[in-house]
Amino acid sequence: MFGYTEWLLIIILYSTNSYPREDSFMNKIGLGLHALRILTAFFTLTLFMNVFAATDYLKGKYNVDPAHTRISFIVPHFVVSEVEGRFNDVKGEFILADPFTESRVSATIPVKSIDTGIKERDDHLGSKDFFEVTKYPEMKLVSKSITGTPESFKMIAALTIKDVTKDVIFECKYTGSVKDTWGQQRAALQATAKVNRKDFNINYDDKIDIGPAVGDEVKIRLWTEGVKAEDSKKGPPKK
Could you tell me where the DSSP H helices lie in 56-79? none
Could you tell me where the DSSP H helices lie in the chain? 4-17, 24-55, 119-125
At 33, the pLDDT band (50, 70, 90 cuts) reads low
Contacts of residue 64, defined as CB under 8 A and 6 or more positions apart, other chains included, come to 90, 91, 92, 93, 94, 107, 224, 225, 226
Instruction: Characterize the bridge pairing of strands 152-161 and 138-149.
Output: antiparallel
Note the pLDDT of residue 237.
Answer: 56
Asked whether the predicted pLDDT for residue 20 surpasses 80, the reply is no
Note the pLDDT of residue 43.
Answer: 46
Give the integer Cα–Cα distance in Å for 70 and 188.
12
Note the pLDDT of residue 53.
Answer: 43
Contacts 24+ apart (CB under 8 A), 133-136: 135/162, 136/111, 136/161, 136/162, 136/163
Note the pLDDT of residue 37.
Answer: 59
Residue 179: CA count within 13 A, CB half-sphere: 5
At 74, the pLDDT band (50, 70, 90 cuts) reads very high
For the ranges 21-25, 173-177, 229-233, which has the lowest average pLDDT?
Answer: 21-25
Note the pLDDT of residue 49.
Answer: 43
Give the integer Cα–Cα distance in Å for 153 and 155.
6
Average pLDDT for 37-65: 61
Note the pLDDT of residue 4.
Answer: 43
Asked whether the predicted pLDDT for residue 34 surpasses 90, the reply is no
For the ranges 47-51, 187-191, 201-205, 233-237, which has the lowest average pLDDT?
Answer: 47-51
Contacts of residue 37, defined as CB under 8 A and 6 or more positions apart, other chains included, come to none
Give SS3 for 166: strand
Note the pLDDT of residue 27.
Answer: 60
- The pTM (predicted TM-score) of the whole model is 0.74
For the ranges 43-47, 57-61, 195-199, 226-230, which has the lowest average pLDDT?
Answer: 43-47
At 30, the pLDDT band (50, 70, 90 cuts) reads low
Average pLDDT for 161-167: 98
Asked whether the predicted pLDDT for residue 181 surpasses 60, the reply is yes
At 227, the pLDDT band (50, 70, 90 cuts) reads very high
- Number of H helices and E strands in the chain, helices first, is 3, 12
For the ranges 5-9, 125-129, 139-143, 160-164, which has the lowest average pLDDT?
Answer: 5-9
Q: What is the CA radius of gyration of the chain?
A: 26
Environment class of residue 41 by beta-carbon count within 10 Å: exposed (0-12), middle (13-18) or buried (19+)? exposed
